[in-house]
Amino acid sequence: MARKPSKATLAATAPSEADLWKIQEPVAKEALDFVTGFLGCRMGANNDELLDDTAKGRLMAILRAVSIVESRHGTVGKNQPKRDPIQCGNPNDVWWRELTGQLGTGSRFVRFPGLGNYWANEVGDAAEREGNFPPAAMRGLLAKLTDGHKNASFAPAHSYVWGTLYLIHRINAKAGDKSYQCGDLSRDRLIDGAVTYNGGGVADYRDRLIKALAEFNDPLAAVFPQTRFRQTDLLAETLAAIKRSGHAVARLEVTYLNSTSLASVSIDMLGPVTYRGAIKVLSDELSLGQKVPDDSEINVCGPIAKKITRSDPEFQQLVENVNPNIVFKDEEGTGADRMMTDRLRSGLAKLAPLVSSEWTGVKLRVTEAWDEDNEHAGASLHYEGRAADITTSPVDGSKLGRLGQLAVDAGLDWVYFENSAHVHVSVKK
Ligand SMILES: [Zn+2]
């Protein structure tokens, strides 16, 4: 007996955003992989780190949001949404006209140093010359290039490849960076850039992007893996994310790593779609007893060969640290705390300015370096001048966790938040 499908059944058969994306995702991913490789994309404060999977995931998220807003992944709109899901091939739009040489040279695509740079009217040929260019995106497949997505053979591959190239260029250009420089890939950076991809035609494009991101749990709001967040920044970010969402908060949970460090903030919000986000942080402080790297000192820095005394020839290899930005305790009154290997001296020289810029009026203080008085355990690296015990000056125990992290940032080989009185740092030979 035939039955009319119930309302619930109908709803269940309508494709979800996730289902629609599943269809486009492989094409979009191939496009993104190609474009980031072609531009030589880098990230980080100095834009010298290769994109990791998390970074690529963030770019994929903004691309997915654009794809929702532009055409609901090829299913909505009057302008050939099926062929052109992210609407890069509209023959009247600036980008397609730039790419096809109708606006002179067009935008400047600046790639990783050494790869060469191109104007928009050259970048198509250069991209297609690459061995891994997605063949389905070749412009030669189009009968009349300037007609863009009016060509019957315009395909989603064209849309995602040429659209993603422009999207990434726009995101980075909007942030004041070169095409390949992806910076911190922060949520605001990605959204601000994606708004300029639209070119201003849609007034509420930003709101639409934010709504689109919420449809798939807004991975951009949920995770901030790139940056070490200070506690205050973390809370401010969380509150800003809540405000941006426009939704009421159902639950806010804050967990602590230790008495001074936040571990995570997680939020549940009420809204048209239930939003759930957890912000994981890499703490910006070491906790008491923590070692970085998490391995034994001997494994990281190597064992001592002997306890150096003043009469040993090895003593001549040690240097006296006279850095005026460091306070030396010198409780022995012998100057021994200033004696160390050159590697340790240069590590501390990098750390000292980090300390002074972290806290106004505060200096790095060394309470112990080379030890000639057998004050340390058996084979301590202090005996070779390869270890130092450090605090701040003025002394403030609550700063030690952060001091430990700064020592890690300064590149000291092994950092150990040894006890509540000091941080122990050591270096390789
Ligand atoms: Zn020590």
Per-residue pLDDT of the chain (429 residues; tens, 9 = 90+): 444 444 444 445 678 999 999 999 999 999 999 999 999 999 988 898 889 888 999 999 999 999 999 999 999 999 999 999 999 999 999 999 999 999 999 999 999 999 999 999 999 999 999 999 999 999 999 999 999 999 999 999 999 999 999 999 999 999 999 999 999 998 889 999 999 998 777 889 999 999 999 899 888 875 444 444 556 666 777 777 677 767 777 777 776 655 555 666 677 766 655 555 555 455 678 888 999 998 999 999 999 999 999 999 999 999 999 999 999 998 888 889 999 999 999 999 999 999 999 999 999 999 999 998 888 888 899 999 999 999 999 999 989 999 999 999 999 999 999 999 999 999 999
Q: What is the CA(400)–ligand 1 centre distance, in A?
A: 14
Radius of gyration of the chain (CA): 28
Whether the full predicted model's pTM is greater than 0.75, yes or no, is no
pLDDT digits (tens, 9 = 90+) for 304-330: 999 999 999 999 999 999 999 999 998
Q: What is the CA(372)–ligand 1 centre distance, in A?
A: 13
Q: What is the CA(389)–ligand 1 centre distance, in A?
A: 5
Q: What is the CA(288)–ligand 1 centre distance, in A?
A: 14
d(CA 298, CA 214): 48
Q: What is the CA(387)–ligand 1 centre distance, in A?
A: 6
Please give all residues whose CB falls under 5 A of ion ligand 1, grouped by chain where several chains appear: 389, 424
Would you state the pLDDT for residue 3?
46
Would you state the pLDDT for residue 54?
86
Q: What is the CA(418)–ligand 1 centre distance, in A?
A: 8
Match 């940032």 to its residue by tokens. 409
In the chain, the amino acid numbered 81 is: P
Would you state the pLDDT for residue 245?
67
In the chain, the amino acid numbered 302 is: G
**Do 426 and 381 meet the contact criterion of CB atoms below 8 Å apart?**
yes
Closest CA to 319 of 297, 347, 298: 347
Q: What is the CA(306)–ligand 1 centre distance, in A?
A: 17
Q: What is the CA(79)–ligand 1 centre distance, in A?
A: 69
**Do 350 and 413 meet the contact criterion of CB atoms below 8 Å apart?**
no
Strand order in the sheet with 275-280: 248-256, 262-270, 275-280
- DSSP-derived letter for residue 145 is G
**Do 67 and 28 meet the contact criterion of CB atoms below 8 Å apart?**
yes
Question: What DSSP string runs through 235-294?
Answer: HHHHHHHHHHHTPEEEEEEEEESSSS-EEEEEEEEESSS-EEEEEE---SSPPTT-EESS
Q: What is the CA(347)–ligand 1 centre distance, in A?
A: 15
pLDDT digits (tens, 9 = 90+) for 398-411: 899 999 999 999 99
pLDDT digits (tens, 9 = 90+) for 151-184: 999 999 999 999 999 999 999 999 999 999 999 9
Q: Which long-range contacts (CB under 8 A, 24 or more apart) does 204-208 make?
A: 205/69, 208/69
Does residue 293 have a cis peptide bond before it, meaning omega lies within 30 degrees of 0? yes
Q: Which long-range contacts (CB under 8 A, 24 or more apart) does 113-116 make?
A: 115/39, 115/40, 115/180
Q: What is the CA(329)–ligand 1 centre distance, in A?
A: 14
Q: What is the CA(45)–ligand 1 centre distance, in A?
A: 32
Would you state the pLDDT for residue 13?
65
Q: What is the CA(346)–ligand 1 centre distance, in A?
A: 18
Architecture category of domain 291-426 in CATH:
2-Layer Sandwich (3.30)
**Do 20 and 74 meet the contact criterion of CB atoms below 8 Å apart?**
yes
427 SS3 class? coil
Dihedral sign, Cα of residue 383, residue 387, residue 389, residue 390? positive
Q: What is the CA(371)–ligand 1 centre distance, in A?
A: 10
Question: What DSSP string runs through 193-230?
Answer: HHHHHHTTSSTTHHHHHHHHHHHTT-HHHH---SSPPP
pLDDT digits (tens, 9 = 90+) for 182-200: 999 988 899 999 999 987 7
Q: What is the CA(22)–ligand 1 centre distance, in A?
A: 55
Would you state the pLDDT for residue 53?
86
Q: Can you give the residue ranges of every domain in the chain?
A: 15-216, 231-280, 291-426
d(CA 228, CA 221): 15
Count the neighbouring beta carbons within 10 Å of the beta carbon of residue 153. 13
Would you state the pLDDT for residue 240?
73
For helices 400-409 and 342-358, the axis angle rounded to 10 degrees is 120
Would you state the pLDDT for residue 106?
94
